[in-house]
Amino acid sequence: MFNLFLQVVQPITTPLCMVSVSSLLAVFLWSIAIATRDGIARLKQLHQVPCSRCAYFTGDYRLKCTVHPCKALTEDAINCLDYEPAANPPKCHPKACKYR
């Protein structure tokens, strides 16, 4: 009786399991692609922050900007009205600099 049940069910379950696993794998790969695309878009937006090239940027982690300390190095600083290009912008990463 059990062998008869397996002979009937196995031809149905094998392709069904294969389709299920393939679908889950496709959804997983699709979500990775979406996350990568969103991450790249986010990085492009954050690279528009002009603080490190501003004359008011101090490079000190305690007071990053003398004009807008709460907005410094955030998305709010992208269109900062007080942005003033620095005469000699730092060549290194702000946290690694010891120029001041």
CA angle 80, 74, 52 (to 5 degrees): 70
Q: Is 90 exceeded by the pLDDT of residue 6?
A: no
Q: How far apart are CA 97 and CA 100, in angstroms?
A: 8
Q: Sketch the domain layout of the chain as residue ranges.
A: 1-47, 50-100
Q: How confident is the model at residue 9 (pLDDT cuts 50, 70, 90)?
A: confident
Q: What is the CA radius of gyration of the chain?
A: 28
Q: What is the pTM of this model?
A: 0.60
* Most confident segment among 34-38, 70-74, 81-85: 34-38
